Amino acid sequence: MEVKIQKTLSMCKNLMKEVKTWGCLQQTGLSLRYMMEFGSNPTPKNLLISAQFLHKELPIRIARRAIELHTLPHGLSHRPPVLKNMNDEKEFTELIKSIKVRHNNVVPTMALGVQQLKNVFEDPDEIDEFLDRIYMSRIGIRMLIGQHVELHNPNPPPSCVGYIHTNMSPVNVARNASEDARSMCYGEYGSAADVRIYGDPDFTFPYVPAHLHLMVFELVKNSLRAVQDHFMDSDEVAPPIRIITADGIEDVTIKVSDEGGGIPRSGLPKIFTYLYSTARNASWDENEPSDLGTTDNISVKMAGNGYGLPICRLYARYFGGDLQVISMEGYGTDAYLHLSRLGDSQEPLP
């Protein structure tokens, strides 16, 4: 028995040593343009180069996050939901192979741990900055793994290089995302405001449709909810939500405008913080299934987690864009989603 314990302890020590070694190495950020150009020619030689890159890059990125998790204040890394994942460290090598699947649970697991410690943190910025780094890193890791896996697809969909659509129509993606958000709204409220989309459906640029779908879905969902609540006791027909797309030289910008009563000025600084939600059903249930963190949806309800806006902004920033929210209390809200169309900015690596 003692020999077994000694053996396990020595394995753990070696593993920690290895994590530290990897965690000290420099991360390498890629740009959308590079991923697209490299991926458009998936020859055996390029697949090998890609695999060699991931083989080195993933341990570095994961090790950096593992080190940060270990050094968290207030014992966050010892909360039961977080610990569950930390045990996986022991199978680090195996874990790299199945990393994408494992990462499916990182967001809800961390969110639950953070929720349990919500009142313990003296400085709320501390936890927001930490979560930003964790989730940004996660977006990058999933993008890299997804790109590599998709490059093996012998019949890729037309105009697709891995996750990147070389001719993505923002108007079409916005239409699909809005319909998905409206369906959810119907399910929860029994009705949903119209969504009108303005812009040229034939205009295209290279981007990741799953990312844009997620962002527009979250913004429209917020607007639909605001309109529903604002016009709840009114006989007036709920005013439509307007989505305007503009193609500039630097950015493609998508504006989501609603007349849902806006956000009080005092509340604005909080909307990009995690866990801030004014939803009546704001609740965290350990047993409740959640889609938080998949590329397609980050929430299964209209509202309640307070994750929509901060995660949406991370997706926008990942490829060099940004998200701004401007509001007129008593009238409505405009969300400006800026997507960098040049695709040259390197991944922001925390």
Name the residue with tokens 């040593």.
17
Per DSSP, the three-state class of 286 is coil
* 92-151: contacts with ligand ATP (CB under 6 A): none
When asked if residue 315 is in the footprint of ligand ATP (CB under 6 A), the reply is no
Cβ 323 to ligand ATP shortest distance, Å: 11
Strand runs labelled E in 107-212: 160-161, 164-168, 195-198, 205-207
Choose among 50, 30, 134: nearest CA to 345.
30
Cβ 299 to ligand ATP shortest distance, Å: 4
How many residues appear in the chain?
350
Q: x/- site string to ligand ATP, residues 204 to 243, per CB under 6 A? A: --------------x---xx--x-----------------
How many angstroms separate the CA atoms of 136 and 315, rounded? 8
Cβ 127 to ligand ATP shortest distance, Å: 15
When asked if residue 303 is in the footprint of ligand ATP (CB under 6 A), the reply is yes
Per DSSP, the three-state class of 341 is coil
* 273-292: contacts with ligand ATP (CB under 6 A): 276-279
Stretch that binds ligand ATP, among 30-38, 63-71, 155-163, 297-305 (CB under 6 A): 297-305
Cβ neighbour number for residue 32 with a 10 Å cutoff: 26
Stretch that binds ligand ATP, among 68-76, 116-124, 174-182, 255-263 (CB under 6 A): 255-263
Distance of CA 167 to the CA centre of its chain: 22
Cβ neighbour number for residue 159 with a 10 Å cutoff: 12
Cβ 344 to ligand ATP shortest distance, Å: 29
Largest CA distance in the chain: 76
Residue with the CB atom nearest ligand ATP in the bound state = 308
| Binding site residues, ligand ATP, CB under 6 A | 218, 222-223, 226, 258, 260, 263, 271, 276-279, 299, 301, 303-309, 333
